[in-house]
Structure 1
Amino acid sequence: MGPVGAGVVAMCLGAALIVNGAGAADPPPQPGEARVYPDEPRPAPNDPPPLAPLASAAPIRVRIPAISVDAPLTGLGLEDGGRLAAPPDDEVNLAGWYRSGTAPGAGGTAIVAGHVDTREGPAVFYHLGELHRGNTVEVDRADGDTAIFTVDAIEVYRAEQFPDRRVYGAAKGAELRLITCGAGFDRAEQRYLGNVVAFAHLTGLVPGRHTS
Structure 2
Amino acid sequence: MAIGAVLLINGVHDEEPPQPSAAQNFSTSADLARSTVHPLPPADPVRLRIASIGVNAPMTRVGLDAAGVLRAPPPDKPSLAGWYGDGTPPGSAGTAITTGHVDTPTGDPGVFYNLGALTKGATIEISREDRRTAVFTVRAVELYDRKKFPSKKVYGSSGRPELRLITCGGTYTKSTGYLSNVVVYATLTAVP
Equivalent of residue 104 in structure 1, options 56, 80, 90: 90
- Please give the alpha-carbon distance, in whole angstroms, between the structure 2 residues aligned to 1:72 and 1:4: 27
What number of residue pairs does the alignment pair up?
Answer: 190
Structure 1, residues 23-69: CA drift from partner, whole Å, max 9, x if none?
x1x2100001111125675139xxxx531211111000100000000
- Give the Cα separation in 2 of the matches to 1:171 and 1:205: 19
Distance 1:128 1:33 in 2: 15
Aligned 8 A contact 1:50 1:201 in 2: no
Q: Does 1:27 align with 2:16?
A: yes
Moved over 3 A (4+): 38-41
Q: 2:113 aligns with which of 110, 122, 126?
A: 126
The aligned residue for residue 137 of structure 1 is 124
CA contact (8 A) 2:83 2:97 kept: yes
Q: Does 2:180 correspond to 1:194?
A: yes
Structure 2 stretches lacking a partner, 5+ long:
none
Q: Are 1:114 and 2:103 an aligned pair?
A: no
Alpha carbons 1:154, 1:198 under 8 Å: kept: yes
Q: Given the alignment of the two structures, is residue 36 of structure 1 paired with residue 25 of structure 2, yes or no?
A: yes
Q: Deviations over 1:49-104 (max 9, x none)?
A: 53121111100010000000000000001012211011011112101000000000
| Distance change >3 Å, CA 157–CA 39, structure 1 → 2 | farther
In the alignment, which residue of structure 2 is the partner of 1:209? Answer: none
TM-score (norm 2): 0.94
Amino acid at match of 2:58: P
| 1:198 to partner: Cα distance | 0.3
- Contiguous gaps of at least 5 residues in structure 1: 19-23, 207-212
CA contact (8 A) 1:17 1:117 kept: no
Cross-structure match for 1:66: 52
Q: SS in structure 2 opposite 1:165?
A: helix
Comparing 50-59 with 152-161, which one deviates more in the overlay? Answer: 50-59
Let me know the Cα RMSD of the aligned residues: 1.6
TM-score, structure 1 normalization: 0.85
